[in-house]
Structures are given as C-alpha cells and as structure tokens.
Amino acid sequence: MPKPKSKPKAKPASKQIINYLKKSGINFDVIPHRKVYTAYDLAQTAGAKLDEIAKTLLLRVELPMLKKKGAYFVVVLPASYNVDLQKVKRVLKATKVEIAPEKVFKKLGLEPGAVSPFGSLRKFGVLVDSGLLKTKQALVGAESFTESLRLKAKDLIDLEQALVAIVGRKNKLKVRKESSVKKSVKTKVKAKLLKSKSLKKVVKKPVKKIVKKSIKKVVKKPTKKKIVGSKSVRRK
C-alpha cells in the first residue's frame, strides 16, 4: 500500500529576517495565526485595525538612471490604504511602475502574498507610505502565511532607510470581527433550515387526500332528500 502524502508543513517566519532584526537590535514579537493570504484576513484574524497592518506589495519599476530595464521596490502602506501607482511614479521619478507579475515571484524565490517589507535583504528599494507612521506598532509580513511580526513602524523605516512619501489613498474597507461573521453565517444557515422545513410541511399534504375529502363531502349529500312529501299510490 502506498503511503498517503503528508500535508506540507506551514512555513514559519523567515529565519533570515529574524536574525537580521536580532543583529540590528530591533525589538519585535513573532505573532502566530491561522493561514492568511491577505492583509485584510490578517487584521480579521489578529483582531487588529487595518491601520495597524502593514500591507507590502512588490513593484517593478523602470528608472531612467538605471541601465537595467527594471528594478524592484517594495511599497509598504497601511491595509486601510490602496497604492496609487501614479503617485509612486512621481515620487520615484520613474518612467514606468507596475505591480510585479506572478511569474517574477518564482525567479526571486518569493510567494505571492508573502512579501516582507525588509527589501534590503533582497536588494529591493523600500518605499513607505506616511500613513503607516500614524500607528506606533505595526504587524508586518515575514515571508510566511502563518506568522507575522509586530514592531515599531519607525524602527522599520530607520532600519531599511526607507523613502517615506504619500503613495496611497484611503479605501472603504472595514474589518468584521470573526464572531460577527460566524453569527451571520449561523443565521443564514438557520433561515435555510427553517425554509426547508416549511417546504417539507407543505409537501407532506398530498393532493389525493384533499380531492378525496372534497368528493366525500359531495357524496354525503344524497339526491333522495330532494323529493319531499311524495306519496306512493296503490292500484286497486
């Protein structure tokens, strides 16, 4: 019998990043959580505000001063913001800015959705939206779907010597607590069950029985009763 394939273990926070922070004397906490793929899911799981989640995106940038066709930057902004590529283009004085396509991630040894803001470790430029400075501590990615890091936003900027500018715009996302999500799911399930039960009750009444009852009511009315006061006549 062939052995069943074991599920791949969840990848923890990058040891390279952990060691980098320790050597640099940065205070941080490793925050374990269920597997999440987006900054919104992380906020929902960790019970944090979107402003406290540092969303990191990988950008491919063309700069006129570089001989290479494309350079890479990580842009870091609160999860309550969306990146504005036109603003990034103006800040970097680039000729072209785009979100890095998925095929690039494999070449760089990264997974989509698991990019960290520590771009210097991969020779990426680091651009931070000034909105992130509104929170004292931020939850940042560590190249893992099951572990994140909590540290001061200022420490991140100083460590990475990041360029700080306004490169995002506020979005309308709001975090729903998991308890409220579960309640809404339960109420929907209950509503469906009640609906199905009510349908079953209606179906349980067969049409034949209704027809039989109506026929019996008609039959119970004999025609003899209509002949009233009639007398029988005998012949002599």
Q: Per-residue pLDDT tens for 158-188?
A: 999 999 999 999 988 887 765 544 444 455 5
Q: Could you tell me the residue ranges of all domains in the chain?
A: 15-175, 179-223
Give the up-direction half-sphere exposure of residue 42: CA atoms within 13 A in the CB hemisphere: 29
Q: Per-residue pLDDT tens for 185-235?
A: 455 545 555 555 554 554 454 544 444 444 445 445 554 444 444 444 444
**Pick from 79-93, 117-131, 152-166, 178-192: least confident:** 178-192
The CA-based angle 138-139-142, given to 5 degrees, is 130
Q: What does pTM read for this prediction? A: 0.70
Q: Per-residue pLDDT tens for 139-151?
A: 999 999 999 999 9
CA-nearest of 132, 114, 139, 102 to 28 is 139
The CA-based angle 17-21-26, given to 5 degrees, is 150
If you classify domain 15-175 with CATH, what class do you get? alpha beta
* Segment holding 211, helix H or strand E: helix 207-219
